[in-house]
Amino acid sequence: MADSAPATADKLPKVLAAEKGMVNVQIDGTWIQVPRGTRMIEACKQAEQEVPHYCYHTKLSSPGNCRMCLVQMGMPSRPAPGHHISFGDDGFQKIGWMPRPVISCANTVAENMGIRTSGALVEECRNGVMEFLLINHPLDCPICDQAGECSLQEFSVDHGRGSSRFEEVKVKKPKNVEIGPRIRLDDERCIMCSRCIRFMDEVVDDPVLGFIDRGTHTKLTVHPGRQLDSNYSLNTVDICPVGALTSNDFRFQMRVWFLKETKSIDVNCGTGCNTVIWTRGNEVFRITPRENNDVNSCWIPDSHRLNFHYLHAETRLDAPMIRKGQNHENADWFDAIAKAAEGLKGHQRGEVAIIGSGRQTNEELYLLKRLAETLETDLLTLVPRFEESDGRLVSADRNPNTNGAKLLWATDDPYAKLDAIREGVSGRKIKAIVVFYEDLLGAAAFKATDLEKLELLVSNHLLPNGTAKASHVVMPGAGFAEKRGSMVNITGRLQRLNQAILPPEGVMDDWEIIRDLVAALDHNEPARHLIEDVFTEIVDDVEELEELTLSKIGDLGIQVTETGETIPLIETERGEIVG
């Protein structure tokens, strides 16, 4: 360092930046270095100067059609003939400011460029653009679902006029149009930013949306004979800066300002898309994607985001049950755990099998392993759920935590023993089964007649099903939004589930159920009061998770192992040069 210090002192800032592939940009008077080729709007974001915008989206191309992100730009003046380029004391050339504004979303930065995100010219431009955008915008806010998270509302507070100067009649356009099975379109609200069109074209590769007609009559529409029915269609609702596209599922359910946001992850497939769970009181109202450039970019499949209504199903099990004859009777937790433990104690090793689920968290899977060790059985398995990948975000493995099981159980195939167990049950070799989170008659393909032969079936479910019906002890558990824990996705990334709502009254968190069951079987088990206690045990046990805690995982997760698998959408995104 000592050697290079005098040398760098001689070099101009532009040379220093160029060595790193960067350029110097002055943003509102402050010089910063940004990578060459950065869009001006991104450079402003790095300098923490907000540039209002509608059509620009980080993950999409820049058509530059909303004109909201106008800023003032300047470059060093070209020296007159006979003059030389002169550098100031700070090593920069004097910036010659342009008299007209430029859009910051579709221009890239250059060496010695100056950007002003405020000032008379810029303010005037923004006020003008806002006024034009609002000319034909209906005063729908009281009935518009976007109200509260609408960019148009937000920026009209900063840059809009209090009243309209427009005296003519607003243009009429189609309202409340069903353009897809899950989406409603309101053309009057549309500000022609074309984000949805570009999303369907560039990310989903299914360009069904487009503009028709001209001038003030321009409207968004779906291709004749087609519908906006892609499995990614609801992402257009998220990126719509106004209320033109709204979700049928969330339509008029609740105003967004009442909703509490909890960062969590999706549990419908191995990708583990990062999500935000929006709740009010003890109810989930919607789930939206959260940006994570290593997992799901900014998107999530519709099928995954809408799969939460079962948490509020009327039929949700809300008390432990013990079978008496042909019927089940509600019991309390002590009795249910004691009954299950007593039944398990009465069986030889080799007669008991434990079936977990790839939808369980690491903590639960770890405790299941403890349960298997306590019962001295090696019949511990998950139920496989493999379907086809959609080539974007839905992975072939529909279990979100297969890799977690591989790590915690120290095995390459956590599904290996399922066939043996199934045969053992029909051959009456296995007499007791503990099953968590799975319907054995479903993906596990057990026969109902076989289940009836069992001497003891202890199961854990959210909703009643065939396995619950055949069970001797039923222990209702908590859903994905109701618990905390961690999972490892297909790429080997450890991510965290957070509790957004409380489980129904009378229900215990799944890890607590397994903990109590293990404790009832073996009184020497360590006391585990918090889920952190379980995670600490896991960390001691699994090398890959060394020195981690649940809090250290963070909102974006941590890569803990390499699986060699990738997420197709992220690969495509990394390969693309957007712009």
Partner 1 sequence: MAVIKLKRPKLSWYEHLYLPAIIKGLLITFKHAVISVFGKATGSKELASSGLGVTMQYPEQKWDEHLPEYYRGIPALVTDEQGRERCVSCQLCEFICPPKAITIAPGELKSDDEWAKVEKAPKAFDIDMIRCIYCGMCEEVCPEQAIFLRQDYAMTGTTRAEMVNDKDRLYQLGGVREGLINKWNEVK
Residues that bind partner 1 (CB under 8 A): 139, 141-143, 147, 169-170, 175-176, 251-255, 257-258
Would you say 81 or 142 has its CB closer to partner 1?
142
Shortest Å distance, C-beta 142 to partner 1: 4
Shortest Å distance, C-beta 287 to partner 1: 19
* Total H helices, total E strands in the chain: 18, 23
Q: How many angstroms separate the first and last alpha carbons of the chain? A: 38
Phi-psi region of 40 (alpha: psi -120 to 50; beta: other; left: phi over 0): alpha
Shortest Å distance, C-beta 230 to partner 1: 25
Would you say 258 or 334 has its CB closer to partner 1?
258
Residues ≥6 apart with Cβ < 8 Å to 18: 111
Separation CA 565–CA 567 (nearest Å): 7
Shortest Å distance, C-beta 176 to partner 1: 6
Would you say 170 or 323 has its CB closer to partner 1?
170
Shortest Å distance, C-beta 267 to partner 1: 29
Would you say 147 or 463 has its CB closer to partner 1?
147
Both structure tokens of 280: 């009010």
Residues ≥6 apart with Cβ < 8 Å to 564: none
Residue pair 230/266 in contact by the 8 Å Cβ criterion: no
Residue for token pair 């008029």: 252
Would you say 180 or 289 has its CB closer to partner 1?
180
What are the backbone dihedrals phi and psi of residue 127, each rounded to the nearest 5 degrees, phi first?
-60, -40
Shortest Å distance, C-beta 69 to partner 1: 30
Shortest Å distance, C-beta 168 to partner 1: 10
Would you say 144 or 379 has its CB closer to partner 1?
144
SS3 533: helix
Residues ≥6 apart with Cβ < 8 Å to 552: 558
Separation CA 511–CA 532 (nearest Å): 11
Separation CA 372–CA 378 (nearest Å): 7
Continuous segment of H or E residues that includes residue 364: helix 362-374
Would you say 181 or 554 has its CB closer to partner 1?
181
Would you say 131 or 283 has its CB closer to partner 1?
283
Diameter over CA atoms, the chain: 104
Shortest Å distance, C-beta 169 to partner 1: 6
Q: Which of 39, 57, 58 is nearest to 47 (CA)?
A: 39
